[in-house]
Structure 1
Amino acid sequence: MSDRIMFSTKERLRRRTPAAGIDREEYIEHLVEEFHTTTNVEAQEQVSANLANFAYDPVNYPFLKKSSCLELFIQTLSLPNDKLVLHGIAGICNLCLDEYFESVILAPTNLAAITALLPKDNTEIVLQALATLTLLTTPKTKEQICIPKVVRDIQRLRESKHIPIKRLASVFIEDNCTKTEIIQLKLLQNIRKNLSQSIRQFCTVEQFRVGDEVTVVKRITQKEVDDFARLTGDTNPIHTTQVPESKRVVHGALLNGLVSGVIGTRLPGPGTVVLSQKLHFLRKCYVNEEVEICVRLVENRKIMRVQFECQQEGEIVFKGDARLMMTHFRL
């Protein structure tokens, strides 16, 4: 991102303005008035572009404050015209390091209008919004800006094909998230990718019969156990390389997660909501050994019931049952 500060002074501004020229303060007020009164969209686009350029130079800040130019920029963010949105967020980005303008921009509704731009398809708008948030985020404002949804949106931008967006998103995440938070973001992102690859249409109760069964065989690796430990915070040494592999145990909740995966994608499948579960952990389940996960439909009505079990080397290590409901849902 290029340097946004122009080292202008009032004296230099006076030298740049012809003796017979219009007063800068008056000109900015005329521009703001024209934006609000004209019905010509092209005129609004030209005016907002000019005002965004004026916002680049701190010597104009007093005039921009007096004319309520920031309020105009914020107003454009909710308009359907991408040029107006771009000029508005560019102007906000230019103003946001000023203490007065910063306090206005950080008002909850104004900040929400900026963060709402992050998922847009227009890369220029996204880059300006991301730059604005990067400049605004300090130890004092971090808690207000780095809410989960905003961080998730910026994490997704790290995968952008637009190189400046990708780099700036990485800088934001690395500067404002802990290593643990970054790992959790990556894990959640991988989960979403896996879900997006499993596009299935919603199923109805009538498609199933009592006795329907699905069996999946899975080898749970140490890496998967480690990832689950980081995601949940359950770093009990019995799950880690601190103990010999022959004694290393898989998290019980991870086994239940595998069962949930079968329920949510295979039987009954997408659209399933778990209402209640009964769980029984009968034996230890060891890392790097195959686990056979079986889910069986035992009641088929509006509230369905399945029984499930996980076996390792022919012995049941985990079993239970769950009451489920199908929803009208489509991935």
Structure 2
Amino acid sequence: MFTRKEQLIARTGKNKVGRFEFLKLLTNEFKTSKSKEAKTQVLANLVNFAYDPINYEYLRKLRVIDLFLYLLSEDDKDFVRFSIGGICNLCLDPQNKDYIIHSHGVQAVSSLLTSSDEETVLSAITTLMFLITPFSKPLITSPEIIESMIYFSNSSNIRIKNLATIFLTDYCSDTNVKHIKEHPTVVPVSAIPLPQSVMNSRLFTLCARYSRSYSAKLPSKLASDQNLKPGDSITITKSITEDDILSFAKLTDDFNPIHITSPKNIVHGAFLNGLVSGVIGTKLPGAGTIVVEQIIRYPKPCYAGDTVSITVEIVTVRKIIKCKYRCIANMERIVLEGEAKLMASNAQVKKISFTQ
């Protein structure tokens, strides 16, 4: 599910752009782009990269944590929703957690508890739980925040209600909860001022500009923005060349003769699955999607020179999305088929299991 550093060293794009350089280009794209849509798509990509621990060091160097913290105070709901999702992903790492806490992140995150956006509130509650340390616990379990959680625990929204209940049960003493219920505060969370150091974060430099222009290829839809329903599907086609197979063999060190020296070279099964993953992660459901379980079958071989049609179809849409997919070579034989369970964006929130 996660990436090894050795794989990153070997894995470069067509123009030999490594992972760090690509992330640097993304941050520069966000900084320089004047398009709201482009900025939103870049931000969604950064949040997706924040899920993989191998990227933590890179994101720290590029000050992406600062970017996410700054955007929490923006008026744009999309920017806020994705930024708190990124912080939620990153704060699982002890070093990131410490940085966020000491950058007044608790205050910034807690200010989102009054948001009208459900996903933002869910991510904010989850992030506060992830940020709890002996140092930060007194701040995170302040009377104002506990009062907000008590309010949420009575919500008609089952997701928010369950999450707030977990917060109160796992991190707050019964005595404190009882006292605050009997003596509610007069200062709501929304009135907690953000420190000036956070408000002034416009001054930080995201990264140095590249001498050449670059436009990242970004998905047109974000998983969390789609109204998915059973039956939604998409099909794309891809012609697989000998060079594709050889490049994949070099990437994986899989030089099995059936792939590279056979009279009819067979495409690696993992290569076909990668094509499916590309559709799932950029098209349907879209950016931010994570595969948590897969079943794959290879009924017939796929050969170099074949044109493959990759179809993904949504089966059910709940907290875990189920889809099925198949790859058909030259419109005549099924070379891959299977099904998967997926999580859409804000995956850290959806890791918590609720009664459905």
Alignment of 1:9 with 2:7, yes or no, is: no
Describe how 1:200-239 pairs up with structure 2 within 5 A: none
Alignment of 1:146 with 2:146, yes or no, is: no
Q: Which SS does the other structure have where 2:114 is aligned?
A: coil
CA RMSD of superposed structures (Å): 2.3
- AA at the equivalent of 1:117: L
CA shift for structure 1 position 18: 4.6
The aligned residue for residue 171 of structure 1 is 166
CA shift for structure 1 position 88: 0.4
Alignment of 1:116 with 2:111, yes or no, is: yes
Alignment of 1:74 with 2:69, yes or no, is: yes
CA shift for structure 1 position 179: 1.5
TM-score (norm 2): 0.49
Contact kept in structure 2, 1:118 and 1:154, CA below 8 Å: no
CA shift for structure 1 position 185: 3.2
Identity percentage of aligned residues? 38
Distance 1:47 1:30 in 2: 10
Distance 2:159 2:7 in 1: 33
The superposition leaves residues 12-47 of structure 1 with CA deviations (integer Å, 9 ceiling, x where unpaired) of: 445664565521111111111121222211111011
Describe how 1:1-331 pairs up with structure 2 within 5 A: 6-14=1-9, 17-18=12-13, 20-107=15-102, 109-188=104-183
- Which runs of structure 1 show a deviation greater than 6 angstroms over 4 or more consecutive aligned residues? none
Q: Which SS does the other structure have where 1:105 is aligned?
A: helix
The superposition leaves residues 88-134 of structure 1 with CA deviations (integer Å, 9 ceiling, x where unpaired) of: 00000001022221122112633211100011110100000111001
Contact kept in structure 2, 1:155 and 1:173, CA below 8 Å: yes
CA shift for structure 1 position 135: 0.9
Call closer, same or farther: CA 1:107–1:116 in 2, change over 3 Å. same
Contact kept in structure 1, 2:43 and 2:79, CA below 8 Å: yes
- AA at the equivalent of 1:179: D
Q: Which SS does the other structure have where 1:78 is aligned?
A: coil
Contact kept in structure 1, 2:143 and 2:180, CA below 8 Å: no
Instruction: In structure 1, list runs of 5 or more residues that go unmatched.
Output: 1-5, 192-331
Distance 2:16 2:104 in 1: 39
CA shift for structure 1 position 182: 2.1
Deviates more, 1:58-67 or 1:144-153: 144-153
TM-score (norm 1): 0.52
Matched residue count: 186
Distance 1:45 1:164 in 2: 25
Instruction: In structure 2, list runs of 5 or more residues that go unmatched.
Output: 187-356
Distance 1:50 1:94 in 2: 13
- AA at the equivalent of 1:177: C
CA shift for structure 1 position 138: 3.1
- AA at the equivalent of 2:4: T
The aligned residue for residue 351 of structure 2 is none
Larger Rg: 1
Q: Which SS does the other structure have where 2:73 is aligned?
A: coil
Call closer, same or farther: CA 1:110–1:136 in 2, change over 3 Å. closer
The superposition leaves residues 276-313 of structure 1 with CA deviations (integer Å, 9 ceiling, x where unpaired) of: xxxxxxxxxxxxxxxxxxxxxxxxxxxxxxxxxxxxxx
The superposition leaves residues 171-213 of structure 1 with CA deviations (integer Å, 9 ceiling, x where unpaired) of: 1111122222222233346x9xxxxxxxxxxxxxxxxxxxxxx
- AA at the equivalent of 1:116: S
Q: Which SS does the other structure have where 1:117 is aligned?
A: helix
Distance 1:16 1:125 in 2: 34
